[in-house]
Amino acid sequence: MPVKNFAGKQVKVDEEGFLLNPDDWTEEIASELASAEGIDELTDKHWKLLVFMREDYKENGKIPTIRRIKNNAGIPVKEIYSLFPDGPAKKAAKIAGLGKPEGCV
């Protein structure tokens, strides 16, 4: 399994760059992952979604779906897509330090 260096910390990742251990995640790592995914700056709206995803994952053991984010975090679907274009569930989960969501190819 590959190891990558993010924010001065070596972490294990899968073949697509998803962190294998969500506990390795830091805000600095999130910023570097976002940059690699074409998001230059994480705004307060990005952080709201990322924090919700991590908390929901800790509570439920599953990566939240777009529908769950919309319903429980109060973030409209259009906004989710504008914050994380080109595959928001996959991109947001990666930046949040979670695994690849079920159903994503």
pTM of the predicted protein model:
0.93
Q: How far is CA 89 from CA 2, 4, 7, 34, 67, in A?
A: 23, 22, 23, 13, 10
Asked if the model's pLDDT at residue 101 lies above 90, the reply is no
Q: What does the pLDDT read at residue 103? A: 60
Angstrom distance (rounded) from CA 56 to CA 34:
20
**104 a catalytic residue:** yes
Q: Are 55 and 47 in contact (CB under 8 A)?
A: no
The predicted-structure confidence for 21-47, as pLDDT tens digits, reads as follows 999 999 999 999 999 999 999 999 999
**Which token pair is 86?**
């080109």
Catalytic residue among 28, 34, 104, 105: 104
Residue 97: strand, helix, or coil: coil
Q: What does the pLDDT read at residue 105? A: 45
The predicted-structure confidence for 52-63, as pLDDT tens digits, reads as follows 999 999 999 999
**How many other C-beta atoms are found inside a 10 Å radius of the C-beta of residue 64?**
26
The domain spans of the chain are 3-95
For the chain, what percent of residues have pLDDT higher than 70?
97
